[in-house]
Amino acid sequence: MVFEAGHSLRSKLSALPKVELHRHLEGSLRLETLVEIARTHHLDLPSYDLETLRPLVQVVGGDSPDFSTYLEKFKLLRRFYATPELIARMVHECIADAAADNIKYLELRFNPVALSKFRGFELEQAMLWVTEAAEQAQRDHHVTVRLIVQIGRDESVFTARRIAEAAVAARHRGVVGLDLAGDETAYPATPFIEVFRWAKEQGLHITIHAGEVGPSANIRQAVEHMGAERIGHGVRAGEDPKLVQWLAEQGVTLEMCPTSNLHTGAVAGPSEHPLRRYLERGVRVTINTDDPGISSTTLTDEYLLAVQHMGMDLPAIQQTILYAAAAAFLPKDERGALVTWFEQVFAPL
The verdict on 290 binding Zn ion (CB under 5 A) reads yes
From the list 56-64, 98-106, 242-250, 290-298, the region that binds Zn ion by CB under 5 A is 290-298
Nearer to Zn ion, 84 or 297 (CB): 297
14 within 8 A of 101, measured Cβ to Cβ: yes
Nearer to Zn ion, 38 or 230 (CB): 230
The verdict on 97 binding Zn ion (CB under 5 A) reads no
The verdict on 212 binding Zn ion (CB under 5 A) reads no
Least Å distance, CB 101 to Zn ion, is 18
Least Å distance, CB 208 to Zn ion, is 10
Cα 293 to Cα 149, 150, 348, distances in angstroms? 19, 18, 34
Residue facing Zn ion at closest CB distance: 290
- Largest distance between two CA atoms of the chain: 59
From the list 112-120, 193-201, 286-294, 302-310, the region that binds Zn ion by CB under 5 A is 286-294
Least Å distance, CB 151 to Zn ion, is 13
Nearer to Zn ion, 95 or 208 (CB): 208
Nearer to Zn ion, 38 or 113 (CB): 113
Q: What is residue 119's three-state secondary structure? A: coil
Q: Which of residues 111-130 bind Zn ion (CB under 5 A)?
A: none
Nearer to Zn ion, 290 or 301 (CB): 290
Cα 151 to Cα 163, 221, 301, 324, distances in angstroms? 7, 17, 28, 22
Least Å distance, CB 312 to Zn ion, is 21
Alpha helices in the chain (DSSP H): 2-15, 31-40, 50-57, 67-77, 84-100, 112-116, 123-141, 157-169, 193-201, 217-226, 241-250, 258-263, 275-280, 299-309, 314-326, 332-346
Nearer to Zn ion, 38 or 324 (CB): 324
From the list 7-15, 85-93, 216-224, 282-290, the region that binds Zn ion by CB under 5 A is 282-290
Catalytic residue among 184, 212, 229, 255: 212
Q: 208 has which bridge partners?
A: 180, 231
Q: Among this protein's residues, is 36 annotated catalytic?
A: no
Q: In what order do the strands lie in the sheet with 230-233?
A: 18-24, 103-110, 144-152, 175-181, 205-210, 230-233, 253-256, 284-287
Least Å distance, CB 209 to Zn ion, is 6
User: If we measure between CA atoms, which residue out of 170, 168, 192 comes closest to residue 181?
Assistant: 192
Q: Which residues are catalytic?
A: 212
Contact positions toward Zn ion, by CB under 5 A? 290
